[in-house]
Structure 1
Amino acid sequence: MSHRVLIPVDLQAPPILPAGVVAHSLSGRTMGTTWSVQALAARSVAQETIAAAVEAQLQRVIDEMSTWEPGSHISRFNRAPAGSWHALPEGFFTVLDAALTMAVDSEAAFDPTVGPLVDLWGFGAGSVQQGAFRPPDAALLEATRQRCGWQRIVLDRTQRKVQQAGGVHLDFSGIAKGYAVDRVAQALRECGCVSWLAEVGGELSGQGVKTDGQPWWVALERPPQDDSPGMVVALHGLAIATSGDYRRYVDHDGHRYAHTIDPRTGTPVRTAPASVTVLHRQCMVADALATVLTVLGEEAGLSFARERGIAALFITREADGFRESLTPALAAMLE
């Protein structure tokens, strides 16, 4: 199958690789998914050093932001009494600050307080679904919605602390994986890697070139049944994130309930594109934007992305297959 090639319009020439670099390939499990790293470094940088740096950053994200870990910072905050204040570690603060900024800009299409709704629909660590899936009744849905709302978060940016308003349940599932990729990339840089491709659960960040001088070519993810010609992008100084309704979902009474919750309605997104892929310099931002554009849907999502110069690919299901829509920022990258 032929592929269309994407080259970032502002791509700067990657630095020339120093002589004698060694290629390293590492992988493992984290955050309920997998991670992988391909990295080039001087011979003096041991693979064990690279692996330890990567795993330390991934564990840090888990310790701070995993709702599946009862001892994490986010889980302790979610259980805390009303009115209590909580000092935040740097990573937690960075992600919460970015999530609130995204909530404002998207007019609540992104909301880090959506955790109770994620649990209500059976997709979270505290799922209330028992046995076979069933949509919650209207009264329970409305009661759960009342616990949510990013406006309930009081964040003291000066002192880097947040107040628990009472029953607020943070959930960073739409942004933390991307942040983890950014932290892995930073760890690789700090331990002496000169070029790399870092991936966590399908979200990626690339820097530099491979030993043959070629960029890190990455295929844009497509739904499993979509056999149309794909796209590859030269991932240098760039990150990529995809949100797809095929990743986690439940089929019930002829309807697909995907794991992405629309905070504005409290229900799984019903008219979402099959997938949305976003390219951005920060994987954390790409991850959050992929969620936002999925919630907004194709028409409103394309408008949102065009206004902000976001490079995004929408793939929408139709009766006879799939249809793709590119934002101008992505179309400008086609060679």
Structure 2
Amino acid sequence: MGARPLAAQQLGGRTVFPFLDLPTGAQQAALGGMNVSARNNDPTMLFANPALLNPEMDGRLALSYVAYVADIKQSTAAYVFNTQKYGRFGVGVTYLSYGNFESYDAAGNSLGTFGVNEYTVGVSDSYTKGKFTFGATTKLAVSSIAGSRSLAGVGDAGVVYKHPTTDFTAGLAVKNVGYQFSPYPGTERGPLPLDVQLGATIKPEHMPVRFSLTAHHLQQWNIQYLDPNARGQLDASGNEKKATRSFGDNLARHFTASAALVLGKGLNLRVGYNHLMRRELRLDNTSGSAGLSFGVMLKISTFQIDYTHATLQAAGSSEYFTLSRNLDSLFKRKE
């Protein structure tokens, strides 16, 4: 697939399997869509950074559903378990459906409908040594259009540092390293959407807010896209003045920022901002609230519910729902 459901972003157009960049859970989406340092009990965060696997996730299953614009839907399942000998493991499956499309022959006769979908199946492993946790993920990525398929092997690797006494974590992740085993018929192999991310999360003492800042696409400085067909502004003489590259705007596109208001153990409110998304998904005359995301985490009994509303542009938004529970405690109660 050459376009991601969020829109035809400039970075996505250069790679295959761009859906690998999409956030899979409500928490990650609420934190600006990219976060490698938010360490908590949410199993879906293993997709953000495998080094985020930690004891709070042990035995937890998370099911996530995303409703994008039109008929585009995404479903994710993630489960984490600990082995004393081989480390802490996470398994994850995510499935993205673009809906059904009409098919026609050369004469315009209907041939019925066909589906377009993409999915990954992966296993993550992490190991903690002192203040550092090291993690890696290996997964198979599949893209399917009308019965034709493209396959790729993908790997993520990361490390997380957790301060022993303060609520501070820092993370580094290298994501989507791999190889396209088989491209679509008639197409050539392309690069995967490599992304090197570095971030930190901190909750100041005596303050009920947890802040995160994440830098992404560190392997590539210039991620600023200028549409060559876009109309420029007119100067005083009536001459068209085309937009030029800006150091400040390009720098800002490398960062996402977020904050989580901690209202006890059972309620969090989250807000995130992604400048790259805002700039690339803005309309010609306005940006609206593109790039902003708002989320809430609520615990009810033994269940945790996460919801996020992420604004794409004036044309639509996406809704994220994640439900998680500790299965170990469920089985122990039955015994």
More strand by share: 2
Q: Which has the higher contact order (CA 8 A, sep 6+)?
A: 1
More helix by share: 1
